[in-house]
Each structure stands twice: as C-alpha cells, then as structure tokens.
C-alpha cells in the first residue's frame, strides 16, 4: 500500500480514534528498518492531526531516528536489558544504538514508554534491572516503564519456519517475579 492509501484508510476511523483518545501507532518488525516510508506515513498522519507513536527497538541506521522522531509524539522503546552481553544475546545486536535512540528522543523532546520483557533465566537479573532503572532516571521524557511478561504465543512461527526456538523450555514469569521487576523499574 502507499502512504496515501494507508492514510485514507486511517481517516475512516477518525471519529473512533478521537473518541477513544488514541492515535496511529507504527509497529512491525521494526519501523526504523523502512524509515523513509515510516517517516512519510507519520508526517502525513501528523498533518491530518493524528497523535503518532512508533514501536521500535531503536536500532535505526544513519539519521533514520531523527527523521522518524521528527513526526512522532510517542516512542515505545524496547530495552531488552541494560547489560550489553544479555542485550546482544537476546537481540543479536549491540545495545549502543538503542541507547543512542533514547538519547536522541530526549534531545528532541519525544515522550518515551520503555518496554522491558521479563524472561525468566534471561532478563530477570535484579542487579541489571536496578542498573536499567538508574540509567533511565535522567531521562525526563521517559513517561512510563512497562514490564511485559514473557510468553510463547509466537512459538508456532518458529516451528513453521523450521527454526529452533531457543526459549521452548522457558516458562512465563511468576506473579512475584513480575511484581519485583515492576517495583525495581518503578524507581
């Protein structure tokens, strides 16, 4: 679809979006991968008066982050772990670009909700969670930190692609573990 076709479709729901207090969220995959399209779509949504949000890991190349955030009201930023080794293990990428995206969002005044997935045995290290909470303190543009429980809803996709699902034996976090993570990251 073209940007014009998508915006035309979005405009059909303007009254619902306004009534619900919502907006337009671009998610994926990661919208920074196709940043030219994402930038154009967000720019047109903003010109139509819609609140805009981008759900991203923050791994943009070049000036993708600035271009996209110029038309973004809210960024949902996944930070899998503040520990560089754990982050690399989970994502396959270094953490530096994600943290750079957070810094850029701060400089540009874009509100951020940090999303942290609690995976037992992988991202549940309390020391790392305390470090993440401390790291986020100076960022007054971080309006919320969401702790999301690990789940295996998408496990079938790995099987369908005949890929090994490395978290197959991992269980969802307990309510107690979720509460601990929420308390730590609420700091």
Does residue 84 sit in the same domain as residue 68?
Answer: no
Please compute the mean of the pLDDT values over residues 115-128 and round it to a whole number: 96
Would the pTM count as exceeding 0.85? yes
Does residue 45 sit in the same domain as residue 116?
Answer: no
Instruction: Domain count for the chain, please give it.
Output: 2
Please compute the mean of the pLDDT values over residues 21-35 and round it to a whole number: 92
Does residue 18 sit in the same domain as residue 85?
Answer: no
* 136-160 per-position pLDDT tens digit: 999 999 999 999 999 878 778 878 8
Strand order in the sheet with 142-149: 24-26, 52-56, 74-78, 111-118, 142-149
* Boundary (domain end) residue, out of 32, 54, 72: 72
Write down the mean pLDDT value for the chain: 94
Query: Which domain covers residue 88, as residue numbers?
Result: 80-187
Please compute the mean of the pLDDT values over residues 3-27 and round it to a whole number: 96
């Amino acid at each position: 679809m073209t940007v014009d076709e998508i915006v035309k479709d979005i405009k059909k729901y303007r009254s619902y979006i306004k009534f619900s207090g919502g907006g337009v969220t671009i998610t994926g995959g990661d919208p920074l991968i196709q940043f030219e399209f994402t930038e154009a779509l967000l720019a047109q949504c903003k010109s139509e008066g819609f609140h805009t949000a981008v759900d991203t890991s923050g791994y943009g190349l070049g000036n993708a982050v600035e271009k996209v955030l110029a038309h973004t009201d809210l960024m949902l930023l996944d930070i899998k772990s503040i520990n560089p080794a754990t982050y690399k293990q989970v994502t396959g990428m270094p953490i530096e670009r994600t943290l750079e995206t957070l810094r850029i969002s701060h400089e540009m005044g874009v509100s951020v909700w940090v999303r942290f997935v609690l995976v037992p045995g992988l991202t549940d290290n309390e020391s790392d969670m305390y470090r993440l909470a401390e790291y986020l303190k100076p960022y007054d543009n971080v309006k919320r930190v969401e702790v999301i429980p690990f789940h295996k809803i998408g496990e079938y996709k790995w099987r369908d692609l005949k890929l090994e699902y490395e978290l197959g034996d991992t269980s969802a976090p307990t309510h107690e573990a979720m509460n601990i993570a929420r308390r730590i990251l609420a700091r």
